[in-house]
Amino acid sequence: MTDGLNAPEEGGRPVLQAITAVVLVAAVMGGLWAQHKLVRHKDASSAPASCSNPTNHLPARYVSGARLCTVLNRPDLPALLGTPREKIETAGGSGGWITLAGGTKIAAPEATVSLKTYSVKLSASYDDMPVSEAGDLLNDARRTTVLGHPAVVYSSPTISFKFNLAGGKADTGPGGTARCVLVSKHGKDDGKGTFELAIWRQDDVYPDDTALLRVAEQVLQTVPGWSER
């Protein structure tokens, strides 16, 4: 049996380049486990997926991957994505640290949910990089606002992973495109943290920006740390 999924490369922000491999491995292993569990139990229950229990190594002042997963794993997400007849099939979060080249450690909580058509990833960043500065470093960034907060929308390539669960092998290759929106946690671009939402399609069709921003507007205001100011 062979399962496939895509994961964003996330190479756009230089601060995050050093941790791309770590993030991808965590996302892929979590997705593989979740898909395997789904295959084994899909006939036993028609209930939507619940968030897996992630390992969290972050202090309480940081939002956890489990909390991000709970926020993202909402019953109206399929409708917000424009696929109302689908349901969330896998969901999981993680919370840990990334270490930059100079030895600086940054909290890196994230969560990913997958449907038949779309996957959605929500992450929080504590790298002190303002949205405007990040936008200057992205090739196709489009500046906008989300709920009055400074934001940029941009594209990120994905890597396609195909798993042979029976043989224990995996093949990788180029995938489709993820559309991402990076949003300041505050109403001003003060460099005191950002949230990022990314969506990509399992069929490699270009994602819908309208769906991306619709999800962002509903989800981000429910994340701990979001501020109206």
What is the per-residue pLDDT across 78-137, written as a single tens digit (0 to 9) for each? 999 999 999 999 999 999 898 888 888 999 999 999 999 999 999 999 988 999 999 999
Quote the domain boundaries for residue 91.
Answer: 2-222
Q: Please report whether residue 124 resides in a domain.
A: yes
Please give the residue that has the higher pLDDT: either 160 or 167: 160
Average pLDDT, the chain: 80
Please report the pLDDT score of residue 9 as a whole number: 53
**Interatomic CA distance for residues 93 and 112, integer angstroms:** 6
> What is the arithmetic mean of pLDDT over 213-223?
98
228 in any annotated domain: no
CA gap 81, 75 in Å, rounded: 11
Q: Which residues 6+ apart lie within 8 Å of 42 measured at CB?
A: none
Query: Does 21 fall in a domain?
Result: yes
Residues 2-53: tens digit of each pLDDT: 444 566 554 334 343 332 333 333 333 334 334 444 333 343 344 668 898 6
Structure tokens at 180: 């991402």
Q: In angstroms, what CA-CA distances link 152 with 1, 89, 133, 178?
A: 40, 29, 10, 14
Q: Is residue 47 part of a domain?
A: yes
Would 227 be classed as within a structural domain? no
User: For residue 229, is it within any domain?
Assistant: no
Number of domains in the chain: 1
